[in-house]
Structure 1
Amino acid sequence: MENTFWVALAASSLAALVTALGIYTIRHFEAWGRKYSIYFVCFAAGVLISVSFLHIIPKSFEMNANAPVYLLIGFVLLHLFNRFITAFVCERNPNSRYGIGLIPMLGIGFHSFIDGFVYSITFTVSIFTGALAATGMVLHEFPEGIITYLLLLRGGFSEKTSLILAFLAASLTTPLGMLISYPYINQIDKPLLGALLSLSAGALVYVGATHLLPQTEKEHRKYSMFAFGAGILVAVLIVLTK
């Protein structure tokens, strides 16, 4: 278990680093970041969806007979949270700093914090399961950092303030969530771990299918489908060669 702790911490820290890299890129290489970030989104969507259906969901079904229920709950809860954030933002003045910048930042920060829980859960099940989930999750952190920083800028914050807030909300919250959740994840029994794994799978499917993929539909880039297919292929190859 000690080994899984350090691996989970390393993976969540890598996610934080990738998010920070996204923030750095969009600040210093804005044109490049805008041009290629959609390909990271496509690839991450392919990996997250494939990993969920090919490995994480079957694994959770083995561990808990009620896993399908928790899978649905995980999906619906993340959807409701997203709807709540969207509705809350829309009620605000679209030109206000609070509506455009701060609230989306808080939503992304909460999402990143929950990502830390996913690292704890999946790596506790096995190193392989955690590595599969981490592959897609780490890849989607790059555009997430970009989005957070840009939203804060559009909300009227200065470049320096946007940089600090984006780093705190989108980057540091992931390893923080892992550190807080891991001691409790380690002490739970197999059925409960299966339930949590299924909840995580529902969240991952939501992120991939209803959060990342729609972004690819909005930007019909030449190689977007290739990037999505590459993500699926990578996940399939990893699962088949386990």
Structure 2
Amino acid sequence: MAIINLILYSFIAGLSTVFGVYLVRRFESLVKKRIIFLVSFSIGVLLATAFFHLLPESVELSQSWFYWALGAVIALYLMEHFIILHSCQEEHCEVHSLGATSLLGIGFHSLIDGIIIGLAFKISFAVGVLSSLAVIFHETAEGVFVYTFLLYDETDRKKALFYSWLVALATPFGAIITFLILDQVPRFILGWFLAAAAGSFIYIGASDLIPATHKEYSFLNIFLVLLGIAFVLGIGRFLG
């Protein structure tokens, strides 16, 4: 039953990227104006899932959890710096060129999301669902960004959609492989990976999403961040 839940939620999480793509294709002007609200809600969901579920579970399983949480933050920073940001040749460009290397980095990020879901379902159904929801919300926003950036980079629309599907499928692939490989892994090692997963969520929320909300100041953004936190707490209590 656990593997069925994993497959279901990981595929939904992966398809949320494609859903974001189809949203921007169908309602381009509206989505670009309102996407910041989804980003704000995603911040609350990501941070609450990391601090209230992933980190506490990792603390129970391993005493060296903090090394792995910090290590994940540093690793993602380096990957983003050398792969995503390095592709921008202009001094102050706001939209970075999405060449093959950058697209590979984004696909790797989706793979990490899948690994996080696989790890979370190893702990419990509740943690798995919450981690999946966190991925779903921020992957939907990421789908909008990826497709928009690809078009900005003068990529053909059909080719951009194809690339978006490849990025989306990396999530369930990572989840299923991780779940199967970790079947015999000791609990303390699982704690390391959960701490790294928490660090990944914290980095994505703090480094990628929060700065985006500062570009458009609104009390609604603040409210939606808090609503995202409340949403995770409510779902966590409901699932037990």
Matched residue, 1:8:
6
- Match 1:215 to one of 206, 212, 215: 212
- Match 1:104 to one of 86, 102, 105: 102
SS of the residue 1:65 aligns to = coil
Post-superposition CA distance 1:184-234 (Å, at most 9, x none): 122211011111111111111111121111111112245211111110111
- Match 2:51 to one of 41, 50, 53: 53
Q: Residues of 1 paired with 2:50 and 2:198: CA distance?
A: 6
Q: Residues of 2 paired with 1:67 and 1:153: CA distance?
A: 40
Q: Given the superposition, is the C-alpha separation of residues 93 and 102 from structure 1 closer, same or farther in structure 2, using an over 3 Å criterion?
A: farther
- Report the TM-score when normalising by structure 2: 0.92
- Counterpart contact for 1:114–1:174, Cα < 8 Å: yes
Cα deviation for residue 144 of structure 1 reads: 0.6
Cα deviation for residue 38 of structure 1 reads: 1.1
Between stretches 178-187 and 57-66, larger displacement belongs to 178-187
Matched, 1:177 2:174: yes
Between stretches 183-192 and 82-91, larger displacement belongs to 82-91
Matched residue, 2:115:
117
% identical aligned pairs: 32
SS of the residue 1:156 aligns to = coil
Matched, 1:198 2:195: yes
- In structure 2, list runs of 5 or more residues that go unmatched: none
Cα deviation for residue 110 of structure 1 reads: 0.8
Cα deviation for residue 159 of structure 1 reads: 1.2
Q: Residues of 2 paired with 1:187 and 1:231: CA distance?
A: 34
In the TM superposition, what are the counterparts of 1:30-45 in structure 2 within 5 Å? 30-45=28-43
Post-superposition CA distance 1:123-176 (Å, at most 9, x none): 01111111121121111111111111111111111111111112212x111111
Between stretches 84-93 and 3-12, larger displacement belongs to 84-93
Q: Residues of 2 paired with 1:17 and 1:126: CA distance?
A: 23
Q: Given the superposition, is the C-alpha separation of residues 105 and 39 from structure 1 closer, same or farther in structure 2, using an over 3 Å criterion?
A: same
SS of the residue 1:110 aligns to = helix
Between stretches 102-111 and 116-125, larger displacement belongs to 102-111
Greater than 4 Å deviation, 4+ residue runs: 91-95
Q: How many equivalent pairs are there?
A: 237
SS of the residue 1:219 aligns to = coil
Between stretches 29-38 and 84-93, larger displacement belongs to 84-93
Q: Given the superposition, is the C-alpha separation of residues 196 and 184 from structure 1 closer, same or farther in structure 2, using an over 3 Å criterion?
A: same
- Report the TM-score when normalising by structure 1: 0.91
Q: Residues of 2 paired with 1:41 and 1:202: CA distance?
A: 18
Q: Residues of 2 paired with 1:70 and 1:87: CA distance?
A: 24
Q: Residues of 2 paired with 1:193 and 1:185: CA distance?
A: 8
In the TM superposition, what are the counterparts of 1:131-150 in structure 2 within 5 Å? 131-150=129-148
Q: Given the superposition, is the C-alpha separation of residues 86 and 122 from structure 1 closer, same or farther in structure 2, using an over 3 Å criterion?
A: same
Q: Residues of 1 paired with 2:98 and 2:137: CA distance?
A: 25
SS of the residue 1:223 aligns to = helix
- In structure 1, list runs of 5 or more residues that go unmatched: none
Cα deviation for residue 26 of structure 1 reads: 0.6
Q: Given the superposition, is the C-alpha separation of residues 94 and 220 from structure 1 closer, same or farther in structure 2, using an over 3 Å criterion?
A: closer
Cα deviation for residue 91 of structure 1 reads: 4.3
Q: Residues of 2 paired with 1:104 and 1:141: CA distance?
A: 17
Q: Residues of 1 paired with 2:177 and 2:3: CA distance?
A: 12
